[in-house]
């Protein structure tokens, strides 16, 4: 058994060699990704060609099932969803798996539907370092990560909502704070921790960071040490949230967008809050409902192809995310906005779909601590609201104007003390129960 184990690991040495060589090249190119005169079209073409060439050899059953020619252009490949991978898992696993370094992961995604898949080491750390460098990161700077980690009950009872992380996770946070326990009552303990640790950067779920910012402004809390930057991730960022976060923490906000399974790394790079999609991490398409690429300024679904996963690559994978296409600059795809999930649609009596995110524009949203829309029948919605400072009848009138007059929907208001989060600590904007 010991000999077999040694032989198995020796077989994986070539993979590690290739991975580190590629990683070194990617790090070198990422140093120039924000240079105005640097063109990355050749890099993107090289990565895509290399992936498709490998995939043809490694996934014969996939090519047979979908009748894809060896020299087919990426546009001739099928557009696949999570369900396609779940129904046919075997055809998406590389025949070279035994030679690869692999791991299993599970993501619930925004739909809450569990999805298990296999991965090889990716180049996310190199991209994370690039983004921190863009934000002014220096060796020794401290990062606090805010996510939905479940904490030990004894710690929670003692109002300890954080853990110190291993040194190897430094780019992903020296400390991790769980947002699962964040309320008006516990918020002071979160700020007590931040004042004690004095982080240079904060990275976290959008809503958790926003909620802390709201609390800070409402209670006149100011951190005594400067925050160099805040990175928002894992959730949709709404326009009204950015200025509140920047005021409360007296710093700039950057956003990161990606998918655990599909491996796309996109990030905002200046005050326009537009996103650059890394040309060496994945291939980004923005497609309409007919599978055609949208024009610049138009909205479509993000469909991505991963360059990093050699055991189970995702080729033309439907993310379910709506984005606004901003064209291509120097071979780099630009997204003007990451809008939200394709599922974030409410329906009027005529069963016409209305994108929820198109309606999240007015100032009334900044006067709420939490909110959720519940729809159980066509043409009717219930707006559940946890009131915040400044909320008034004027805000309710504004919502009625938007949803009743423009959206042609009946709206009911429910004012509640709290709204729960998902199991992973993310906010839920739409809770929908409609029959087809």
Confidence of residue 320 (pLDDT cuts 50, 70, 90): confident
Largest CA distance in the chain: 74
Confidence of residue 103 (pLDDT cuts 50, 70, 90): confident
In this predicted structure, the answer to whether residue 363 has a pLDDT above a threshold of 80 is no
Confidence of residue 425 (pLDDT cuts 50, 70, 90): confident
* C-alpha distance from residue 293 to each of 105, 327, 436 (Å): 31, 11, 28
- Tell me the whole-structure pTM to 2 decimals: 0.82
Q: Quick one: tokens of 48?
A: 């895509």
How far apart, in whole angstroms, are the C-alpha atoms of residue 274 and residue 266? 10
In this predicted structure, the answer to whether residue 362 has a pLDDT above a threshold of 90 is no
Residue 250 · residue 227 · CB < 8 Å = yes
Confidence of residue 287 (pLDDT cuts 50, 70, 90): very high
Q: Identify the pLDDT of residue 360.
A: 62
In this predicted structure, the answer to whether residue 4 has a pLDDT above a threshold of 50 is no
Tell me which residue of 97, 59, 95 sits closest to 78, measured CA to CA: 59
In this predicted structure, the answer to whether residue 7 has a pLDDT above a threshold of 70 is no
In this predicted structure, the answer to whether residue 311 has a pLDDT above a threshold of 60 is yes
User: Mean pLDDT over residues 41-52, rounded?
Assistant: 95
Q: Identify the pLDDT of residue 110.
A: 47
Tell me which residue of 337, 336, 333, 329 sits closest to 36, measured CA to CA: 329
Question: For residue 415, what are the β-bridge partners?
Answer: 385
Chain position carrying tokens 């055991």? 311
How far apart, in whole angstroms, are the C-alpha atoms of residue 280 and residue 45? 9
Least confidently predicted of 53-62, 335-344, 377-386: 335-344
User: Mean pLDDT over residues 271-289, rounded?
Assistant: 94
Confidence of residue 264 (pLDDT cuts 50, 70, 90): confident
Tell me which residue of 263, 255, 274, 28 sits closest to 131, measured CA to CA: 255
In this predicted structure, the answer to whether residue 263 has a pLDDT above a threshold of 80 is no
Q: Give the other-Cβ count within 10 Å of 361's Cβ.
A: 12
Confidence of residue 359 (pLDDT cuts 50, 70, 90): low
How far apart, in whole angstroms, are the C-alpha atoms of residue 104 and residue 190? 33
For the chain, domains (ranges, CATH) are: 2-125+259-341 (3.40.50.12780), 136-251 (no CATH), 345-432 (3.30.300)
pLDDT digits (tens, 9 = 90+) for 180-205: 899 889 999 999 999 999 999 999 99
b/e burial code for range 13-24 (CB count within 10 A of at least 16 → b):
eebeeebeebbe
3-state secondary structure the chain: CHHHHHHHHHHCHHHHHHHHHHHHHHHHHHCCCCCCCCCCHHHHHHHHHHHHHHHHHHCHHHHHHCCCCCCCCHHHCCCECHHHHHHCHHHHCCCCHHHCCCEEEEECCCCCCCEEEEECCCCHHHHHHHHHHHCCCCCCCCEEEEECCCCCHHHHHCCCCEEECCHHHHHHCCEEEEHHHCCCCCHHHHHHHHHHHCCCEEEEEHHHHHHHHHHHHHCCCCCCCCCCEEEEECCCCCCCHHHHHHHHHCCCEEEEECCCCCCCCEEECCCCCCEEECCCCEEEEEECCCCCECCCCCEEEEEEEECCCCCCCCCCEEEEEEEEEEEEECCEEEEEEEEEECCCEEECCCCCEEEHHHHCCCHHHHHEEEEEEEEEECCEEEEEEEECCCCCHHHHHHHHHHHHHHCCCEEEEEECCCCCCCCCCCCCCEEECCCC
User: Mean pLDDT over residues 202-216, rounded?
Assistant: 93
């Amino acid at each position: 058994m010991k000999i077999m184990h040694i032989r198995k690991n020796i077989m994986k040495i070539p993979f590690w060699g290739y991975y580190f060589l590629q990683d070194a090249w990617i790090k070198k190119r990422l140093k120039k990704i924000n240079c105005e005169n640097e063109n990355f079209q050749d890099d993107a073409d090289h990565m895509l060609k290399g992936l498709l060439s490998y995939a043809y050899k490694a996934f014969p059953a996939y090519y047979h099932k979908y009748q894809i020619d060896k020299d087919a252009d990426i546009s001739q490949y099928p557009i696949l969803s999570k369900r396609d991978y779940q129904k046919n898992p075997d055809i998406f696993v590389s025949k070279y798996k035994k030679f690869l370094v692999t791991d299993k992961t599970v993501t619930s995604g925004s739909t809450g539907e569990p999805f298990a898949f296999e991965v090889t080491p990716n180049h996310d750390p190199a991209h994370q370092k690039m983004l921190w460098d863009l934000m002014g990161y220096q060796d020794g700077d401290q990062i606090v990560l805010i996510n939905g980690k479940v904490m030990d009950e004894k710690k929670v009872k003692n109002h300890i909502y954080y853990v110190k992380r291993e040194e190897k996770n430094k780019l992903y946070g020296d400390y991790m704070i769980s947002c699962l326990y964040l309320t008006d009552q516990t918020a002071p303990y979160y700020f007590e921790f931040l004042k004690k640790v004095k982080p240079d950067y904060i990275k976290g779920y959008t809503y958790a960071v926003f909620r802390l910012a709201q609390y800070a402004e409402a209670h006149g809390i100011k951190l005594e040490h400067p925050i160099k930057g805040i990175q928002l991730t894992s959730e949709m960022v709404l326009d009204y949230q950015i200025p509140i976060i920047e005021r409360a923490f007296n710093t700039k906000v950057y956003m990161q967008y990606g998918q655990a399974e599909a491996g796309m790394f996109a990030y905002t790079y200046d005050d326009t809050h537009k996103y650059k999609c890394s040309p060496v991490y994945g291939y980004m398409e923005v497609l309409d409902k007919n599978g055609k690429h949208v024009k610049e300024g138009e909205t479509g679904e993000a469909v991505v192809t991963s360059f990093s996963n050699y055991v189970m690559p995702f080729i033309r994978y439907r993310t379910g995310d709506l984005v606004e296409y901003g064209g291509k600059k120097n071979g780099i795809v630009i997204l003007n906005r990451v809008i939200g999930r394709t599922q974030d649609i409410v329906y009027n009596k005529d069963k016409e779909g209305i994108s929820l995110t198109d309606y999240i524009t007015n100032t009334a949203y900044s006067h709420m601590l939490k909110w959720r829309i519940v729809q159980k029948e066509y043409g009717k919605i219930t707006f559940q609201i946890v009131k915040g400072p400044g909320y008034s009848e004027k805000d309710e009138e504004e919502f009625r104007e938007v949803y009743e007059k423009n959206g042609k929907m009946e709206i009911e208001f429910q004012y509640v003390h709290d709204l729960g989060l998902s199991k992973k600590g993310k906010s839920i904007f739409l809770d929908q129960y409609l029959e087809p």
